[in-house]
Amino acid sequence: MPLVGVKKLLTQARRGRYGVLSVLGGNLDMVIGQVAAAEELRAPLILAFNQEVTPQVPLELAMPMLVNVAERAKVPVATTLDHGNSLESVLRAIHLGSSSVMFDGSTLPYEENVRQTAEVVRVAHALGVSVEAELGSIAGSAAETGAPLDDEPESAFTDPVLAAEFVESTGVDALAISFGNVHGTYRGEPNLDLELVREIFALVEVPLVMHGASGLDDGQYPRIVEAGISKVCYYTAMGKQAARDIHRRLDDAETDSAVYHEIISWAIDAFRADTKRVMALVSCIGTCT
């Protein structure tokens, strides 16, 4: 299918009140498994690349790979740069063919976040590319995949009134918000303020995004989507599950002489299985419009 932008996928998701799963595609094994799951369930998918998570994989190789796979998928698939931190980084992704970019200015003072985000939007929209931005502080680094983290204090949560002002001032196509979600691994019981999500949803016309969706009970995902989240970003738990699956197979006496191409096959199977599991919890499964 033709490569689609995040704006198109998420606008439909917001209207239909379902979620679109966004997963990190750091190599071909991951992406083949992830897209296979989406095709099996007939659900849309977003393939994201995060340079911090896979620093040895050049963006110049990774993004064309994601675009190539997305264009050959049998379901709508968008590509995006995850947590780009400069106009230069998002322009690189755009020039490499990505249909969407995320500019993360959430660590900047509010006025500077608005200024830089608006400039990214101006340039990206001129090139036909969707833009996601972030407002509020989500605990943990965007590259965090291991060490437990404390929950983010409420003072860093996204302010609903500022969110509406930010969207109006910047023209972004989607907004990542902070409501107790944590990059990487949660410490203790996750404390998600879904009422805050509902407040922001009521004031903001663009789709809302959740980063840090790993490690939740399965029953929480439908409630997150019902509250107003349209894009669910998920990786850490998936990456850990894939590592466990591969480790288990390597420990098996029958695979004592495993060859690397077998490990590739196991990785594809692992990413397909977990993508399918989480997608079934958040997305529309064969009924997306």
pLDDT digits (tens, 9 = 90+) for 227-247: 999 999 999 999 999 999 999
The whole-number pLDDT of residue 164 equals 98
pLDDT above 70 covers what percent of the chain?
91
**The pLDDT of residue 145:** 44
Strand partners, 186: 149
Residue 114: inside a domain, yes or no?
yes
Supply the angle between the helices 59-72 and 87-95 in degrees, to the nearest 10: 50
State the average pLDDT for the chain. Answer: 91
Q: How confident is the model at residue 191 (pLDDT cuts 50, 70, 90)?
A: confident
**Number of structural domains the chain divides into:** 1
Reported confidence tier of residue 108, pLDDT bands at 50, 70, 90: very high
Query: Which range of residues forms the domain containing residue 74?
Result: 6-282
pLDDT at 137 over 80: no
The answer for residues whose C-beta is within 8 angstroms of residue 196's C-beta and 6 or more apart is 157, 158, 160, 177, 179
238 inside domain: yes
Amino acid sitting at position 144: E
Q: Considering only residues 186 and 178, tell me which one the structure prediction assigns the higher pLDDT.
A: 178
pLDDT number for residue 151:
45
DSSP character string of 138-166:
-BS-TT--SSEEPPPPGGGSPPHHHHHHH
Q: Supply the pLDDT for residue 253.
A: 59
Query: By CB neighbour count within 10 A (0-12 exposed, 13-18 middle, 19+ buried), where does 262 fall?
Result: middle
**Measured CA distances, 188 to 147, 150, 182, 197, 236 (Å):** 12, 8, 12, 21, 16
- Mean pLDDT in residue range 196-217: 95
Task: Give the per-residue pLDDT at 147.
Answer: 39
Q: Which whole number is the average pLDDT over 217-227?
A: 95
Residue 205 lies in a domain: yes
Q: Give tens-digit pLDDT for 3-22.
A: 999 999 999 999 999 999 99
Q: Looking at residue 150, what is its pLDDT?
A: 46
Q: Among 131, 135, 203, which Cα is nearest to 164's?
A: 203
The answer to whether residue 133 sits within a structural domain is yes
Retrieve residue 213's tokens. Answer: 């969706």
Residue 215: the pLDDT is 81
Q: Domain of 30: which CATH number?
A: 3.20.20.70
What is the structure's pLDDT at 146? Answer: 42
- The answer on pLDDT for 56 being more than 60 is yes
Residue 108, domain member (yes or no): yes
Instruction: Identify the active-site residue in 82, 104, 159, 173.
Output: 82
Least confident window among 30-44, 63-77, 104-118, 138-152: 138-152
Q: What number is the average pLDDT over the span 145-174?
A: 78
217 catalytically annotated: no
In-domain check, residue 289: no
117 part of a folded domain: yes
Q: Is 1 inside a domain boundary? A: no
Strands 174-177 and 130-135: parallel
pLDDT of residue 287: 81
